[in-house]
Amino acid sequence: MAVPKGAIFEDALAALGSAGLPVDVLREDGRKLLYEAEGTQFIVSRPSDVPVFVEYGAADIGIVGKDVLEEQEPNVMELRDLGTGECRMILAAPSGEAERVRAEIDRAEVVRVATKFPRIARRYFEGLGRQAEIIELHGSIELAPLVGLAECIVDLTATGTTLRENDLVIMDEISYSTARLIANRGAYRLRNREVAALAAAMQGTGDRVG
């Protein structure tokens, strides 16, 4: 089982625990990355690495945000929407520049966009029939328009607090993300009964997506 560090870690443990998995072991030593208890092995990793571990068979199943799946498009089975870890993928710009940026987009001018999600950003602008110069960053995306690196950003937000603190306003909502249960395709075929039983036993507010 691949478990993501960060924002959805506790929600992931709650969902796994509801299915009877021994998740308390993951709280014993926060520095460890590999745990084993009662015949179950847990890999704790960055959220962006969870689909990699699952796709290539290092883990049979994992929990990850839909935003990561949309960005990476891994070859995995998406079994269930757990309904937790809600956040939105948005387009945002400085409050004083939002109208100008919108006008540039409407006039089909090329705008500079900073993001951690280049594939999602590119698909969004292609869907609008517009072009964008995508600048990929890995740190504080909100900083990019404040220092002139980009005109707007595509980023994930849960509460909007960081956007407001940096005087950024949401121009569009691109997608909605929640935590998903995923499985390795080979493991899903070979251990279908076990994987299906685990998916059915996990408690979440979302519906299974197949």
Cβ–Cβ < 8 Å for 42, 59 = no
**Pair (145, 187) in one structural domain:** no
The pLDDT value recorded for residue 28 is 80
How far is CA 21 from its chain centroid? 23
**Pair (170, 95) in one structural domain:** yes
Q: Is residue 34 a part of any domain in this protein?
A: yes
**Pair (104, 124) in one structural domain:** yes
Tens of pLDDT along 71-95? Answer: 999 999 999 999 999 999 999 999 9
* DSSP letter (8 states) at residue 28: S
Here the CATH number for the domain that contains residue 10 is: 3.40.190.10
Q: Residues in the chain with pLDDT < 50?
A: 205-210
Q: Is residue 122 a part of any domain in this protein?
A: yes
**Pair (65, 144) in one structural domain:** no
**Pair (53, 95) in one structural domain:** no
**Pair (94, 162) in one structural domain:** yes
Q: Is residue 31 a part of any domain in this protein?
A: yes
Here the tokens at position 166 are: 């940096």
The pLDDT value recorded for residue 126 is 95
CA distances from 7 to 3, 4, 64, 109, 159 (A): 11, 8, 11, 36, 13
Tokens 């966009």 found at: 113
**Pair (55, 97) in one structural domain:** no
Q: Is residue 185 a part of any domain in this protein?
A: yes
The pLDDT value recorded for residue 63 is 97
In the chain, which residue ranges form alpha helices assigned H by DSSP?
9-18, 50-55, 66-72, 98-106, 118-127, 143-146, 161-165, 185-190, 192-201
| Domain hosting residue 191, numbered range | 2-85+178-201
Work out how many domains the chain is built from and give that number.
Answer: 2
**Pair (51, 122) in one structural domain:** no
Cβ–Cβ < 8 Å for 55, 76 = yes
The pLDDT value recorded for residue 204 is 59
Q: Is residue 206 a part of any domain in this protein?
A: no
